[in-house]
Amino acid sequence: MMARRSLLVGFGGYLPDRIVTNDELATRLDTSDEWIRARTGIAQRHIAGPGDTAVSMASAAASQALDYAGMRAGDVGAVIVGTSTPDQAFPATAVRVQAELGMTGGFGFDLAAACSGFIYALSMADSLIRSGQVDSVLVIGSEVYSRIVDWSDRGTCVLFGDGAGAVLLRAAGDEDEDRAGILSTHLHSDGRTGDLLYVDGAVGQREKSGFLHMRGRDVFRHAVAKLSDSVDEVLRVNGLSHGDVSWLVPHQANLRIIEGVARKLELPPERVIVTVDRHANTSAASIPLALNEAVRDGRIRPGDLVLMEALGGGLTWGSALARI
């Protein structure tokens, strides 16, 4: 009997209507379009409006993924939301999404792994399907970082944007004999580096400001090294080489980090999905947003081998390899 496999069958995304350019930020910060682009590759970001929440954005992205797959919400066994910016401490964003989608069965939970949240959630969803506990899972990244950054700190506020992305996983059936699905996922964390990137303040620390803090140079150094190692790990485990990868879909934090990992893979720029210039860093939403864009515009096609990787506060990092 063949082991159960998880197929990526649905893709969706949501970006708030409001776009904030570097030039607009420069009217109220000591910065410039040239300064931001040179250091990050970012030109603009989408910022949540009054009606945008982690739940509403996640639900919109999930609905698109369901439509793409031709499935109904009632057929989904679980919802996992990767987020560091939930609307409430509880109930979980995922159960709110269940309600928005009209789901009356299954289960949902949130997962907090900062910018690695989507890779972590994808790994959990794959495990649930492989174990036979469910036949399908909505995996969503939804973030509203505009509400936790200090808009007077040019070192952090220029880096982030808001949005949500979603994929739908389902167990492969007999009719999917030739579809490989998720080959493997690999997760890591090192709590000793937790003070490099964090948000102070939580339900148990109401006296704190609740702003994001980052030691950017140290995070950059760890990101290039750890993501390169993670890329090598996932390929080694699957007996593949750099040349076998069709597409790199990285976490969209900084263009220089993306380019560094691409060079490690010996991948030309045209085989790397980049959205950071238009979306900025949307944390756990960045990989599914990039996947959604590249699948829908025809760059990523059935049979392509896609490598995903991310690093976030914790530090957490990981990779996933899937054949679409």
Give the H/E segment covering residue 136.
Answer: strand 136-144
Name 115's bridge partners: none
C-beta of residue 187 within 8 angstroms of C-beta of residue 119: yes
Rounded to whole angstroms, the Cα distance separating 165 from 24 reads 26
Q: In terms of DSSP bridges, do strands 316-323 and 181-189 run parallel, antiparallel, or are they unpaired? A: antiparallel
Catalytic residues, by residue number, are 115, 251, 281
Within 8 A by CB and 6+ apart from 58, the residues are 14, 81, 83, 93, 97, 140, 142, 164, 166
Classify each residue of 308-322 as buried b or exposed e, where b means 16 or more C-beta atoms within 10 Å of its C-beta: bbbbbbbbbbbbbbb
Rounded to whole angstroms, the Cα distance separating 81 from 114 reads 12
